[in-house]
Structure 1
Amino acid sequence: MKTSRRLLLAAAACLAAGLSTVSGGASAQAAFPDKPVRIIVPFPPGGSFDVIARGLGIRLGELWKQPVVIENRAGAGGNIGAQFVIGAPADGYTLLLWGDGVLANPLLYPKPPFDAIRDLSGVALLARAPQVLVSGPKANIASMKDVLAAKEPLNYGTAGAGSPGHLAAELMKREGAKQLTHVPYRGGGPALADLMGDQIQLVSTGLPACIALIRGGRIKAVAVSSAKRLKILPQVPTVGETLPGYEVDTWFGIMAPKATPVAVRNKIAADVRTVLANAELQKKLGDDGFEVATSSPAELDAKMVNDLAFWRAQVAKSGARAE
């Protein structure tokens, strides 16, 4: 009898604890956010990451009825912003705008500053966008064939060592574009400014960072990194049309410090899906060169694991290192 009573009491305690956990998770999810939220962009204003962060931040702020502050913390190819978020409280109020190409950045260092899988948790996929190789107004480079035919080194700028643009160009170099010489910047915006000032011949960066300049005729799109030509730029060939088999497609997503509660991450992901379903925002992102894509936190975690393995192999093959 005493044994049975103890078992019943233990079962009741476990049930109460489980209900408490569920209740606590639901409560945290329902209450979030009750104060301003920061989205850290690990690059300067003007690049692809900044473009999508600001559009998303406005809509989330309207939905949450709380300010969403976009904060640029540039440096080390995205590592400085990532490390800031990793060290922030794991409560969902400090988030990171991240991408698959940036996953590779720590791999360029002899002693990686952090481990993305160990130190960050996925929240929600936002969009995909290809990289694009663009030339300056006075550079006589209109195609990948011009790149391959160049007799002198071609200086190409990127958002930094280990950025998606850097790794995309290094893959071109490995496939035969030996003329490419890397010039890292602290973001895509500064690299494009020097391109238009004829300080460098090329820039490899995310399409959203420069699509307005391409449409305005201020720079020329040489080739896109996607497997197929884009509907919004049908006249621009793919790199693969000249270097068969070449393809690099990059994604943008929101990450959080590793211990951020699942309930909070699920709440943010659900609200991101709501925001990205807006037709007006979808059109704007499409015009800016993005393709909207969403995910659950668990799906993004799994994607990070798979993509990091891909980029680890590319870094090893390219021999790219932090500069």
Structure 2
Amino acid sequence: MPSSQASPPSKYEHLIARAKEVKPATTIVVHPCDETSLRGAIEAAEIGIIEPILVGPTKKITEVASAFNLQIAKYPIVDAPHGEAAAAKAVELIHESKGEVLMKGSLHTDELMREVTSSKTGLRTARRISHVFIMDVPTYAETLVITDAAINISPDLDVKRDIVQNAIDLWLQIGRGTPRVAILSAVETVTSKIPSTIEAAALCKMADRGQITGGILDGPLAFDNAIDPEAARIKGITSEVAGRAQILVVPDLEAGNMLAKNLIFLAKADAAGLVLGARAPVILTSRADSVRARMASCAVAVLCAHARRTTTALPGT
């Protein structure tokens, strides 16, 4: 017999609801030349959280819209012959203040990020660019942010400082209060045999000295005592973060990527994705994303854009 137990409500609903309360963000959608990427942008526009500008080959975009009955007549299209040209044009539009957010379409992530990170024409600031997964894990009470699992392969201490600060700034921008930040390693004790434990301790001291602001840090913490109160109790760890983490900072990309995908495929988590630290938030979506994950990615980017409207300087500038 089918279970009568209702599915837990999505933790993304409050983000989407909040995004609906602010001005829609003008969003440059880069090369939306398949159903998933074009539909995602149109659906976000239809619920009133973004105002899309479609950048890519006009003929291909209109063919996709026609094939899947997507209504795009009221959205401007900026013609660009292929993915690389679309990415370059999208970055140019951000520089011209014609958009507040970038959204990846059906081009490769590398094509888009190459233009975003270009030292000459890109969207760099003094802050290191990093990626966050904003995760809805059904078995965990908190929304979880995992960083960095997509851009910085083996970050050193200075890069980790920016990764942590980017994630804290995001948490504050989406109105979630002061975040509890766990710096993850394999163990919860500092040892020279595991360099990530030393860097975790250093990051916590940097927070004590005001080099990282806005969050409560603890580390090193193993994954279990970061997210499970009983595991933290058994290990004798007492802190505001242990067992109740909201942001998980991983040692490197490999660890973060495996952790995020484990939660997605084994714990049936949803994962919204965003690139931070640039002159505009960048929405990275995947064909495997659920509808609500795509909407959550847009909602978080919109809330970031809204927060930037009220400040006079970009992060790291």
TM-score normalised by L of structure 2: 0.28
Structure with larger RCO (C-alpha < 8 A, sep 6+): 1
